[in-house]
Amino acid sequence: MHLFLQQVCSGLASGAIYASLALALVMIYRATDLINFAQGEMAMFSTYIAWMLVNAAVPFWAAFVLTLIVSFIGGMVIERIVIRPVENAPVLAAVVVTIGLLLIFNALAGWLFTYTLQEFPSPFPDRPLLGALLTTRDLGVIAVTLVMLALLFVFFRFTATGLAMRAAAQNPASARLCGIRVGRMLAIGWGLAAAIGATAGIMVAPILFLDPNMMGGVLLYAFTGALLGGITSPVGAVVGGLIVGVTENLVGTYLIASQLKLTIALVLIIVVLVFRPNGLFGTAMVRRV
């Protein structure tokens, strides 16, 4: 029983990381009907920025905030330069562009930082809590995720810009008629998604060690979480990410060797698509033809 609870708790910690990245995916998907396959590699690149700052003796939390700001701006720039030209292109073209971005960021990181695993400091001490049910590090990761979610909720719910972003995602033509600059809203969305991804990268790096391929598996879990929650639902992304984290840990502990854990994500994707394609919280897509 103790082992079970322990695995649930550490599953929630990794689930929180998947949830963050899943949320970034859902934000982009809602705004542009596009899965950003480069979300993970953008997060990895952001994490390297944080790593450089920490190595340059910048205090951890200052490096964290700086990285989020740089990632936000970087995300906006990517939207302007790379995504905007394919805005009205067929969706497949845009998807291929994001895959291109994935390869570029991966290769760029390998070229700049080499493929060697780098140790990344954790801001949280690694001490057992509650009779070793979870560690302070797990708790820290969960807390950071919760704070970020709360801030996002407040932003989207109560600010004029947040509301305008939701409107632009839902009905761009009407949003323009309300005087909302839809292009700018999309850019802000990409910036936010990049900053959320950066948070996920920085939280996961102390566990996985930093290397250019660090986010590959995480992106797959995050994608599974987003799909499980319903690809259009931010709440679903968070819940789905947490479920994936816990499932991954439990199945890896009791059923299969942990080297095979990534398979769980793929199996879950198939199960969701076969039995509940709209996910837990997603709404059915109705298209009039």
Partner 1 sequence: MAPILQLRGVKAFYGALEALHGIDVAVEDGGMTVLLGANGAGKTTTLRAVCGMVRSEGDIVFAGERLQRRSTEAIAALGIAHVPEGRGTFVGLTVEENLRLGAYTRAGKPHDAMARMYGYFPLLADRRRQQAGALSGGEQQMLAIARALMMAPRLLVLDEPSFGLAPRVVEAIFAIIERIRREQRVSVLLVEQNAGLALELADNAYLIETGYVVASGSAKALADDPQIRRSYLGY
261 lies in the site for partner 1, by CB under 8 A: no
170 contributes a contact to partner 1 by CB under 8 A: yes
DSSP secondary structure letter of residue 134: E
Distance CA 208, CA 120 (A): 9
How far is Cα 35 from Cα 26, in angstroms, rounded to an integer? 8
- Rule CB under 8 A: is residue 159 a binding residue for partner 1? no
Q: Would you count residue 57 as binding partner 1 (CB under 8 A)? A: no
Task: Give start and end residues of each alpha helix (H) in the chain.
Answer: 2-32, 39-55, 60-78, 91-113, 136-158, 160-170, 172-177, 182-208, 215-229, 234-254, 261-275
Stretch that binds partner 1, among 21-29, 49-57, 97-105, 157-165 (CB under 8 A): 157-165
Closer to partner 1 by Cβ: residue 80 or 261? 80
Which residue's CB is nearer to partner 1, number 173 or number 289? 173
Asked if 235 interacts with partner 1 (CB under 8 A), we say: no
Tell which residue, 179, 170, 211, 220, has the closest CA to residue 21: 220
For residue 86, give Cα distances in angstroms to 31, 63, 92, 99, 235.
Answer: 14, 33, 10, 13, 29
Residue from 180, 193, 208, 272 touching partner 1 (CB under 8 A): that is: 180
Give yes or no for residue 174 binding partner 1 (CB under 8 A). Answer: yes
Q: How far is the CB of 23 from partner 1 (least distance, A)?
A: 18
Tokens standing for 127?
A: 């001490």
179 touches partner 1 by CB under 8 A:
yes
Residues between 60 and 119 with contacts to partner 1, criterion CB under 8 A: none
Torsion sign (Cα): 27, 32, 34, 37: negative
At position 205, the amino acid (one-letter code) is A
Q: Which member of 80, 84, 166, 261 binds partner 1 (CB under 8 A)?
A: 166
CA 225, CA 168: separation in Å to the nearest integer? 25
Binding flags for partner 1, 114-153, as an x/- string (CB under 8 A): ----------------------------------------
The contact set with partner 1 (CB under 8 A) reads 160, 163-164, 166-167, 170-171, 173-182
